[in-house]
């Protein structure tokens, strides 16, 4: 894999180029079951046109009523991104005609967005704080989604599904602060993690609850920004990265051939990994934006904002630092906080009394390994944190060895029995009984006289072999420390 932290440059025929990226992320507010200005449902995958109110269908005389919970979730999201919350904001109409937009305009926010400047910190290499970068957030505004057109396979008929019409979106606009596909990928993953911690958006890119418009330009290092293109509606982290790679290369080639970049809207074709022109880019004035006369400005009082702030959970960065503070390695801390389900599960494990560093190693190696083998996600984790804590406790107090704990864990997964119960019922308790251990040591040394000779004549690495044999002879139940001591006593 390429080093994500190396400066990313594109070599053209005439020298090096730098890529500049800004992302506009549309995140659906999935925390509420109804739309931004109507009570219609927003469930994914419903029959077409079954979740459409008269407001969404733009019947004459219908009036929009803001969904308080949507505003609350957008404010919580803004606070989680360290952003300014604008206590006074306003909705505007963005006018355009399309068959999936019965109103003839989208209610959005242009002039006075709900959320102002903020930032997201990304870490390109979990083991190295020096690879941290701050990506600026320009604004977050709240707006309605449009419906969806579907075309039959003979391309003779088109159908419209208005279910998504009026669904609440947060448009999270970054500054043009990213300089490589890897930075854009890290930003999107981090943003998605924060949204999922906050709970405002489920971040499900397959279901379209998060998608990105990818703005890309190239320039000579140190020169002013070049003209950008905007690739619309890219719906996975991988595709966003591929869009940037392809688009930057295309722009460099075009400029070097003497062409100029036109500001335009493009589409990413995932099958071919290329972008293609869709239309020349329109400017804000083409949309004849004006304040929506059906809606009063939004005025938030301090108590509302403070309630939003108080409702925020511990966020990924704070959690990662807390984990590092209790002796968890930076790598494990990053892995354990990357997904909210993992972090919640791990917090419950710590609350159940597990020792942090040991627990982190166990989750990263044993639990993730098991989930992987079982093809299960963290949400479907078959062991409860309390049961795992019991298992780790048995290792910590030396009732069982680490080696044996792997077997016990397997049995837990198979039978659902508790760790202590398994150890008790199957007689797996670790023994420090020197009589039994000495007997096993003697037996192993007697059966391997050749290796004992080699060891004594200068092959210390054979020590591990003897330990392994003694453990085997004792069915894994001997206390490894005692085995070490007794072997040393007899051999050295």
Which stretches of the chain bind ligand ADP, using CB under 6 A? 20-24, 173-176, 215-217, 225, 228, 230
Q: Provide the minimum distance between the beta carbon of 282 and Mg ion in the complex, in angstroms, as a whole number.
A: 10
Q: Which is closer to ligand ADP, CB of 179 or CB of 429?
A: 179
Q: Which is closer to Mg ion, CB of 24 or CB of 125?
A: 24
Q: Which is closer to ligand ADP, CB of 187 or CB of 362?
A: 187
Q: Which is closer to Mg ion, CB of 186 or CB of 212?
A: 212
Q: Which among ligand ADP, Mg ion, none contacts residue 22 (Cβ within 5 to 8 A by kind)?
A: ligand ADP
Q: Which among ligand ADP, Mg ion, none contacts residue 188 (Cβ within 5 to 8 A by kind)?
A: none
Q: How far apart are alpha carbons 174 and 22 in whole angstroms?
A: 6
Residue nearest to ligand ADP (CB): 22
Q: Which is closer to ligand ADP, CB of 176 or CB of 353?
A: 176
Q: Provide the minimum distance between the beta carbon of 137 and ligand ADP in the complex, in angstroms, as a whole number.
A: 9
The answer to whether 19 touches 10, Cβ cutoff 8 Å, is yes
Q: Provide the minimum distance between the beta carbon of 404 and ligand ADP in the complex, in angstroms, as a whole number.
A: 54
Q: Which is closer to Mg ion, CB of 17 or CB of 91?
A: 91
What does the block give as tokens for 119? 């930032």
Cβ atoms < 10 Å from Cβ of 462: 16
Q: List Cα–Cα distances, 366 to 358, 363, 371, 403, in angstroms.
A: 11, 6, 9, 11
Q: Provide the minimum distance between the beta carbon of 12 and Mg ion in the complex, in angstroms, as a whole number.
A: 27
The answer to whether 159 touches 149, Cβ cutoff 8 Å, is yes
Q: Which among Mg ion, ligand ADP, none contacts residue 331 (Cβ within 5 to 8 A by kind)?
A: none
Q: Which among Mg ion, ligand ADP, none contacts residue 433 (Cβ within 5 to 8 A by kind)?
A: none
Q: Which among ligand ADP, Mg ion, none contacts residue 175 (Cβ within 5 to 8 A by kind)?
A: ligand ADP
Q: List Cα–Cα distances, 347 to 9, 337, 342, in angstroms.
A: 41, 10, 9
Q: Provide the minimum distance between the beta carbon of 20 and ligand ADP in the complex, in angstroms, as a whole number.
A: 4
x-or-dash pattern for Mg ion, window 12-51, by CB under 5 A? ------------x---------------------------
Q: Which is closer to Mg ion, CB of 282 or CB of 424?
A: 282
Q: Which is closer to ligand ADP, CB of 56 or CB of 143?
A: 143
What does the block give as tokens for 360? 């982190």
Q: Provide the minimum distance between the beta carbon of 227 and ligand ADP in the complex, in angstroms, as a whole number.
A: 7
Handedness of CA 438, 442, 447, 449 (dihedral sign): positive
Q: Provide the minimum distance between the beta carbon of 146 and Mg ion in the complex, in angstroms, as a whole number.
A: 15
Q: Provide the minimum distance between the beta carbon of 379 and ligand ADP in the complex, in angstroms, as a whole number.
A: 32
For Mg ion, the binding residues (CB under 5 A) are 24
């Amino acid at each position: 894999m390429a080093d994500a932290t190396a400066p990313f440059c594109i070599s053209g025929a005439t020298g090096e180029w730098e890529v500049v990226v800004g992302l506009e992320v549309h995140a659906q507010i999935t925390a509420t079951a109804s739309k931004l200005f109507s009570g219609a449902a927003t469930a994914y995958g419903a029959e077409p046109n079954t979740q459409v109110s008269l407001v969404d269908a733009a019947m004459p005389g219908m009036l929009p009523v803001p969904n308080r919970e949507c505003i609350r979730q957008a404010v919580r999201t803004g606070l989680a991104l360290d952003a300014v919350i604008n206590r006074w904001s306003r909705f505007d109409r963005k006018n355009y005609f399309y068959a999936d937009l019965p109103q003839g305009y989208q209610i959005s926010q242009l002039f006075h967005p709900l959320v102002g400047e903020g930032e997201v910190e990304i870490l390109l290499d979990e083991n190295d704080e020096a690879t941290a970068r701050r990506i600026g957030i320009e604004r977050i505004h709240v707006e309605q989604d449009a419906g969806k057109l579907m075309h039959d396979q003979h391309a003779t008929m088109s159908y419209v599904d208005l279910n998504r019409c009026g669904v609440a979106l947060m448009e999270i606009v970054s500054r043009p602060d990213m300089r490589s596909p890897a930075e854009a990928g890290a930003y999107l993953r981090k943003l998605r993690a924060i949204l999922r911690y906050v709970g405002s958006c489920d971040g499900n890119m397959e279901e379209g609850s998060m998608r990105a418009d990818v703005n890309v330009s190239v320039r000579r290092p140190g020169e002013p920004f070049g003209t950008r293109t905007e690739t619309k509606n890219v719906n996975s982290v991988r595709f966003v990265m591929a869009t940037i790679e392809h688009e930057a290369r295309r722009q460099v080639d075009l400029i070097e051939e003497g062409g100029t970049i036109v500001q335009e809207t493009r589409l990413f074709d995932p099958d071919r990994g290329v972008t293609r022109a869709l239309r020349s880019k329109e400017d804000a004035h083409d949309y004849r934006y004006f304040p929506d006369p059906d809606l009063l400005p939004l005025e938030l009082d301090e108590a509302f904002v403070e309630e939003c702030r108080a409702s925020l959970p511990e966020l990924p960065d704070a959690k990662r630092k807390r984990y590092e503070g209790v002796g968890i390695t930076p790598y494990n801390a990053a892995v354990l906080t990357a997904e909210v389900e993992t972090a919640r599960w791990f917090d419950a494990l710590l609350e159940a009394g597990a020792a942090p560093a040991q627990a982190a190693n166990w989750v990263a190696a044993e639990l993730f390994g098991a989930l992987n083998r079982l093809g299960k996600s963290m949400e479907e984790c078959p062991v409860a944190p309390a049961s795992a804590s019991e298992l780790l406790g048995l290792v910590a107090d030396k009732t069982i060895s680490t080696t044996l704990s792997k077997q016990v864990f397997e049995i837990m997964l198979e039978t659902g029995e508790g760790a202590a119960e398994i150890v008790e019922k199957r007689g797996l308790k670790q023994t420090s009984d020197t009589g039994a251990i000495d007997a096993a040591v003697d037996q192993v040394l007697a059966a391997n006289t050749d290796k004992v000779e080699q060891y004594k004549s200068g092959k210390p690495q054979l020590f591990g072999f003897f330990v392994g044999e003694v453990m085997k002879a004792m069915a894994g139940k001997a206390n490894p420390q005692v085995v070490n001591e007794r072997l040393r006593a007899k051999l050295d």
